[in-house]
Structure 1
Amino acid sequence: MLGQNKTQQLSMFGILLLVMGQVLPQIDFSIVNVALDVIGSTLKTDETGLVLIVSLYGVSFAALITTGGRLGDKYGRKRMFLIGIIGFSLASVICGLATDIIIMLIGRVLQGFFAALLLPQILATIHSTLTGARHRYAVSLYTSIAGLSVVIGQVVGGWLVSANLFDLGWRIAFFINVPICIVIFLLGYFIIPETKSNAAKQNMDIGGIVLFILCLSLLMIPISLGKRWPELWWLLLGVLPCAILLWRVEKSYELTGRKAVLPPSLFKIPMVINGFISEMIVTFTYPGYLFVTALCLQSEIGFTPFESGNTFIVLGIMFFIGSLLSRPLSQQIGDHKSYAIGGALTLIGFLGTIALFHSYHYELRFYHLWIATGSVGLGNSIMLTSAYRLTLSQVAKCYASEASSALVTVQQGCCALGTTFAGTIYSLVLALGYLNAITISIGILSLIVLLVCIAIYIKTRGDLTQCLG
């Protein structure tokens, strides 16, 4: 009770510190995106290396975010949050000092690890220490900042790199994390209350975590490196056996009454399966689109990091607006229809981007893309929130925590895979010209969105017909 009173007395400042911590890992993807070309030139790496810089961050984030939440429950959320902040700061220094691709990749993996350690503690601390109006305010701020972080990362990152502060170039995008982390740590130590979970004595699902990482690696390694080393494609043969083993291990783990990273019981509900597939498609196609669009604009059209960042301003704004409109829209027409509308808007944005590249060629300017990227941002946010509600609507309250953790794990994994997939397609086709590369890579993403929206629509109609019958 003392912790709760303390939080209420300092709630505004404490909430702001937590939100500052939330923004750091979420904008890091955006900051790297707007500096892809200059990072590649400095580290002397090609599209494959750039794909790994983005995707390895997502893999380590995805694999460990559930573990981060469990560690916070068991050892203290404030403690894990502050450890995550300091670790993220040190990992950012490693990235900023990198002189070759290997050091950069090590830094990115560590950034993902510590981001997974700090991020789950934020919402858990809010839920455990605030009630009533202050709780609603904090949750609203948390979800709103998630949308705005896209704008913050793109615009601020582009400006920082282009400004070349202290003659650091792109490195300032990583070094800027250090003073922010120090401020959060020093103030958070005194202001953020410590909380734990009374039900945090269960062991970690180490087997599930390891097998999940292995499955992602067996997919990502051949996709990202298969062009350079074709023999790595054989690793894809190990994906299915690894996935089956993961399923069996998780099923066995859950039968003992413990919390699995990916609980098999969740996937016995058809609506939950639909929701997970819907969520996977959103988080697979969206980062892939952002990556190849930003890469093409910088490496082929000649955009500066600042111009690249400005390209996605409207995307971030519309993402934020879409996150506000999604719930009332779903209440009016249902989550499936709102997801379909979001999918249509995303498709319009994807195809509009391709058309603009073909129309303007090297005369393309960042403001030409605002309508297309804005449509992607609006559509994606509606799809994302609708899929989230679809997934959790049929989950019993006793499984809500596990379902949310599994959903976030799958989201981050798909972000990494989507970036790897789209970047690899772009790289393979680039020899035929950048227009072909951008058309085919975004075109395939568009086809995936279209097919899944159609499949979910047909499946939904079938379920409704069966119920009515």
Structure 2
Amino acid sequence: MSSAPIRLGQFGLLILLAGQLLLQLDFSIINVGLAAISASLHAGETELELFVAAYGVAFAVCLAMGARLGDNFGRRRMFGLAVLLFCLASLLCGVATSVAFLIVARALQGIAAALMVPQVLATIHVSLTGRDHARAVSLYSAIGGIAFIVGQVLGGFLISADIAGSGWRSIFLINLPVCILILLCVWRHVPETRGQGRVPVDWSGMITLALLTLSVLLPTALGPSLHWNWLCLLGFVPILPLVALLWRIERGKEARGAFPILPPSLTRISSMRFGGLIAILFFTCWSGFMFVFALTLQAGAGLTPLQSGNALIALGGSYFVSAAFVTPRLANIRRELMLAMGCVIQMSGLTLLIVTLETVWPRPGVINLIPSTILIGFGQALIVNTFYRLGLADVPHEHAGAGSAMLATMQQVSLGLGPAILGAVFAQVLQYSSAYLSAGVTAIAVELGLMAILLAATLLRLARQRSRPEEAEIDALIVAPE
């Protein structure tokens, strides 16, 4: 039985990319609203950490589930349901009257995002070919840098404009008309696709991963406010048992030929372990830096949301230029060398940022921050470019999908935990010194140290590869061309 080929038109692609842009805007726009949310709902640093982390953690834990549900029940259907859920969650965020309510609503947004994201790339993959496919993937990849810039500026403008007295609530409520417009168009212009046969969702692995992530997130975020008392430290106790349980569950599923969320066999591959190290060190620092930097500028230096957003335009712009124009020209150099370059450039930017803040505080203007943020954004793009390329370098072709999903999960978990980890450093210093400059600089210095560890690991890996050229030749034969 033959069927007509599925084809995604230009307007359908625009709808899918609009959904992706909406999610990434929401991820970046939130940082400029932290001070306003804190003042309105009387939220401290701990509550803000949980608020920011709730989205990322929920997204990470549910990402694999979203992909499986789209394959099983139809990607257009799941995309539409995800947009509807995101619309509802945005409304709940916009009308929230307490921090706890806002945290729950933000987690609901993260779940909706996890249901939506896999459908976008999967639909592009199965419904476009050749030049159209390459163009669509390029547009998909470029959205991140664009969303970051637009999110900072738009968020700052909306909060400062205080339309109808909405204040920070407008950064959530603006999602509603966009979601409604997408819903009106998606059923007509996006074709329905699904996977070959149904694959069961790894519910036990997903729930265990969620509990493990929460056992790291909650004690870390609450530690400074609870003065790291015994009850707080007790929260870390389940970590090792949950790691062992997750390993046992996933190994059992893999042995039975099932589809675990984190296949244990992939951890035996060197490049996957190194990709996990990049995820833990870099993406934790990335999201943590955005959170801490926004608080330092707004709550510490007294910048308005618009000024705070403008301070990061140079970072987003340099990230976009590096990702779109520089990394393609460096495609032929060693991946480890590009990663090392990215680490060095970003560390230079972080060091310059510390010096700049110490010099111009308490009035860090947007112009003062441009040189350091340009370096940070440029280096970040180089690191992100190598993440999947390095992580999947030694993964056999037949396991590329599972490897990509595993790296994506580790990436999103790290992004979710970043605000809690660097935020805990920030809150701890602030508790003892009451100086936002000291708190911000200390958190940035911790990030600098973590990036130094990643740089050292990268140089060590590069040295080992150069000392074993025969293995590099074998790898070149078995790794898929990029």
**TM-score higher than 0.5:** yes
Whole-angstrom distance in 2 between the partners of 1:453 and 1:262: 26
Deviation at 1:326, TM superposition (A): 5.4
Deviation at 1:105, TM superposition (A): 0.7
Whole-angstrom distance in 2 between the partners of 1:305 and 1:411: 28
Q: 1:6 to 1:320 in 2, by over 3 A?
A: same
After superposition, the C-alpha distances for 1:61-84 in whole angstroms (9 at most, x for unaligned) are: 000011001000000000000000
Please point out which of 80, 95, 99 is paired with 2:93. 95
2:300–2:437 Cα contact (<8 Å) kept: no
Please point out which of 130, 133, 143 is paired with 1:132. 130
Deviation at 1:228, TM superposition (A): 2.8
Deviation at 1:162, TM superposition (A): 0.9
Residue in 2 aligned with 1:202?
199
Residue in 1 aligned with 2:223?
226
Is the partner of 1:287 in helix, strand or coil?
helix
The alignment's C-alpha RMSD in Å is 1.5
Q: 1:271 to 1:5 in 2, by over 3 A?
A: closer
1:3–1:193 Cα contact (<8 Å) kept: no
Residue in 2 aligned with 1:154?
152
Please point out which of 58, 61, 66 is paired with 1:60. 58
* Partner AA of 1:454 in structure 2: A
Residue in 1 aligned with 2:418?
418
1:426–1:438 Cα contact (<8 Å) kept: yes
Residue in 2 aligned with 1:279?
279
1:330–1:337 Cα contact (<8 Å) kept: no
Residue in 1 aligned with 2:443?
441
The correspondence of residues 32-431 of structure 1 with structure 2, limited to 5 A, is 32-199=30-197, 201-229=198-226, 230=229, 231-325=231-325, 327-430=327-430, 431=432
User: Which portions of structure 1, spanning 4 or more consecutive aligned residues, are displaced by more than 6 angstroms?
Assistant: none
Whole-angstrom distance in 2 between the partners of 1:19 and 1:347: 32
Deviation at 1:35, TM superposition (A): 0.8
Q: Which moved more, 1:179-188 or 1:423-432?
A: 423-432
Deviation at 1:467, TM superposition (A): 4.8
* Partner AA of 1:224 in structure 2: A
After superposition, the C-alpha distances for 1:95-115 in whole angstroms (9 at most, x for unaligned) are: 000111011011101000011
Is the partner of 1:362 in helix, strand or coil?
coil
Residue in 2 aligned with 1:453?
455
* Partner AA of 1:434 in structure 2: Y
Is the partner of 2:332 in helix, strand or coil?
helix
* Partner AA of 1:217 in structure 2: L
After superposition, the C-alpha distances for 1:109-163 in whole angstroms (9 at most, x for unaligned) are: 1000011001110000000111111111111100011221111111111111111
1:289–1:422 Cα contact (<8 Å) kept: yes
Whole-angstrom distance in 2 between the partners of 1:256 and 1:330: 42
1:279–1:388 Cα contact (<8 Å) kept: no
2:49–2:419 Cα contact (<8 Å) kept: yes
Whole-angstrom distance in 1 between the partners of 2:225 and 2:365: 33
2:292–2:422 Cα contact (<8 Å) kept: yes
Is the partner of 2:224 in helix, strand or coil?
coil
After superposition, the C-alpha distances for 1:246-290 in whole angstroms (9 at most, x for unaligned) are: 112111111111111111111111122112212332211111111
After superposition, the C-alpha distances for 1:150-179 in whole angstroms (9 at most, x for unaligned) are: 111111111111111122111000000000
1:329–1:338 Cα contact (<8 Å) kept: no
Deviation at 1:6, TM superposition (A): 4.7
1:266–1:403 Cα contact (<8 Å) kept: yes
Deviation at 1:29, TM superposition (A): 2.0
1:310–1:366 Cα contact (<8 Å) kept: yes
From the two aligned structures, give the one with the greater helix fraction. Answer: 1
* Partner AA of 1:57 in structure 2: Y
Q: TM-score, normalised by structure 1?
A: 0.96
Whole-angstrom distance in 2 between the partners of 1:196 and 1:228: 47
After superposition, the C-alpha distances for 1:192-249 in whole angstroms (9 at most, x for unaligned) are: 11000014x2211111101111111111111001223321212212212211221121
2:61–2:210 Cα contact (<8 Å) kept: yes
Q: 1:247 to 1:467 in 2, by over 3 A?
A: farther
Deviation at 1:407, TM superposition (A): 1.2
Whole-angstrom distance in 2 between the partners of 1:462 and 1:132: 38
2:123–2:193 Cα contact (<8 Å) kept: yes
Is the partner of 1:197 in helix, strand or coil?
coil
Q: TM-score, normalised by structure 2?
A: 0.94
* Partner AA of 1:171 in structure 2: R
